[in-house]
Amino acid sequence: MKQLLLLLLAALPLAAAAQTPIDTTYRYQLGLTASPQLNKFFTANRSLPLGLLYKRQVKPTQAVRARLVGQYSRRDTANYAQVQDGTGIREWQLDAYVGYEWQRLLRKRFSWYYGAEVGAGIGRLNQREVVAWSNSNGPYQYDWRYTGKRWQVQLRPFAGLQVALTSRLSVLAETAAPLTYRKLNDQARGTGMQTLADGSYVPSGGTAYYKYTRTSFAWRPIQLIGLSFRL
């Protein structure tokens, strides 16, 4: 990460100098990207968003771009005796971005670029816990369900470093500072049944709703890494 930042900072004076055109023999780029979560990068990372990247050169040092990013995770949890079938977590998210970038050549194989994107996305989280056990009053069963709905829009300034491995294939890494507006709509519902010693039943549970909006701004040292292929 430090090397990436140093290269980006070192390249800033070059932006004011004479601009060397990027090789536009190939006008299009297609890429595969991944957005690592730094706090889980070296552990079991179940939330690694993967994406597709498209660029089209409109000028020797400028390009329009589009990205599609998605993730899906599923986890079934049955790690102790009371947990019943049906317990688990399902989560997915899909985001789309369009943007514009300016490109600068550092050396023959090294270039850096900067620009901004705007995008929108939607996500869902479904969580369920089904348990059955006995207490001093008798057998007890409980079914708890949570549904979280997410919508967001984002303005994302970025800067990136691209290294050409061949005339067509490159690796890239980007840093970004996204400004995000997010809307959340959550619902939690639980139903339970306590069986008493005399054979009678005592129901329990209820439903809760929670809605809120949030605006956040953060710097992501490594927003994405990827491979790019020129066409």
Which CATH number does the domain housing residue 163 bear?
A: 2.40.160.20
Contact 128, 75 (CB under 8 A): no
Query: Mean of the pLDDT values across residues 209-214?
Result: 93
SS3 84: coil
Distance of CA 140 to the CA centre of its chain: 39
Task: Give the rounded distance of the alpha carbon of 115 from its chain centre.
Answer: 19
* Confidence (pTM): 0.80
Q: Please give the pLDDT value at position 80.
A: 64
Q: Note down the domain range covering 17.
A: 2-230
Q: What is the count of structural domains for the chain?
A: 1
CA distance 213 to 50: 26
Closest CA to 160 of 108, 119, 104: 104
The single-letter DSSP state of residue 200 is -
d(CA 168, CA 97): 24
| Inter-residue contact 148 to 125 (CB < 8 Å) | yes
Rounded-to-integer distance, Cα 105 and Cα 136, Å: 73
Of residues 231, 175, 174, the one with CA closest to residue 56: 231
pLDDT in tens, 102-147: 999 998 899 999 999 999 999 999 999 888 888 888 888 889 999 9
Per the structure block, which two tokens stand in for 80?
A: 């102790």
Contact 118, 97 (CB under 8 A): yes
What is the tens place of the pLDDT at every residue in 144-169? 999 999 999 999 999 999 999 999 99
Residue 89 token pair: 């977590």
Q: Average pLDDT of 4-22? A: 43
Distance, CA of 67 to CA of 210 (rounded, Å): 31
Kindly list the distances between the CA atom of residue 8 and the CA atoms of 110, 161, 207, 223, in Å, as whole numbers in the listed order: 11, 7, 51, 14
Better pLDDT: 95 or 36: 95
